[in-house]
Amino acid sequence: MTSEQRLEQLREKAWQEGVVPGRGVDVVGGPIPRRPGYYGQPVVKPPVWTWEIPLYFFFGGIAGMSAVIATGAAIFHHVDLARAAMWLAAIAGAVLSPILLIMDLGRPHLFLNMLRVFKHRSAMSMGAWILSAFGACAVPGLIALELHARQIFPGPLDQLLRIAAGVFILGAAVFGTLLATYTGVLIGATAIPAWFLHRTLLPIHFGTAGLGSAAAILELVGHRIAALNFLGFYAAAVETGLLIWLSANKHGAADRAIHEHGSGWLIRIGEILNGPLALVLRFFAFIPLAAISFLLGALISRIGWIAVGKVSGSDPESVFAAERSSPVEL
């Protein structure tokens, strides 16, 4: 069919139906290449994050949910578990996470610049404040808890330390929950199709992975109690459900970075490791193997989500398909 015939067909269909769903006409020698996008370029800017960010997501989730576990342990008088969980929260959240974030930013003062303003509508601004508030609660909470546990200052001062430890640990748990989940909100609040289409699922996924990872590390260092085993079962069951959800191709071309590219395999491999495999290993009481499997899966899935974002952001057809599926929100 010649271009003139095709144009005439398009005019007739538009006259009759008002909508032409088919392909148009390529102008031979025209200024616009026959590639999707704007003159062959991506429609949105793909993320430029490097290896520091998936590690930041991983350790941030561990730190935040360790504080939650410490709160529960303190309430039920598991002092040794609370101390171990707070050490994990302080190291992962107040030491490793800021270092990784500053390494990604390139210069330390850029992190401080993010604290100059408070933008409640910006996930990145809120993330900097959440990380800072978490560290401000986790470190004093750990110090107060250690001083109370060692009975260094007996009498009324020890009671003050006990109260201070409880207050700071509770604050760390509140900000820790936000720290473990805001990263899912951060990447979901973009125009990257594979992230935007799963913006509701991502905070749940990141928070659950952080909870299971924190419980796994505490089990590996020797805290084998029923409560941590239950958390491991719960996290693995949720991740198994998320694997089933992601395996269903519900969005077509808009979501093909997950279903048609190697980057999507990273997510699926990670979800298999911290989902069904960890669940089966726990069922047969192979606790150390289940913990290691979950930790590997959580890390690989973080790397996979960053890789999927880069592929999806570079694919104009995915952006167009996502815009057609939800044009108002995009």
- For the stretch 5-40, pLDDT in tens is 777 777 787 777 766 666 655 555 444 444 555 555
| Per-residue model confidence as pLDDT tens digits over 153-165 | 888 898 999 999 9
Which CATH superfamily is 48-189 part of?
Formate dehydrogenase/DMSO reductase domain (1.20.1630.10)
Q: Of the given ranges (128-137, 165-174, 272-281, 319-328), which has the lowest mean pLDDT?
A: 319-328
Each domain of the chain, given as residue ranges in start order, spans 48-189, 192-319
Question: Which residue, 80, 42, 60, is CA-closest to 183?
Answer: 60
Question: Which residue, 257, 246, 263, 264, is CA-closest to 321?
Answer: 257
Give residues with Cβ within 8 angstroms of 171, minimum separation 6: 133, 137, 141
Question: Which residue, 93, 98, 94, 106, is CA-closest to 50?
Answer: 106
| Average pLDDT of the residues in 96-123 | 79
Query: Which region holds residue 155: left if phi is over 0, alpha if psi is between -120 and 50, else beta?
Result: left
Asked if the model's pLDDT at residue 305 lies above 90, the reply is yes
Residue 242 to residue 35: CA distance in whole angstroms: 34
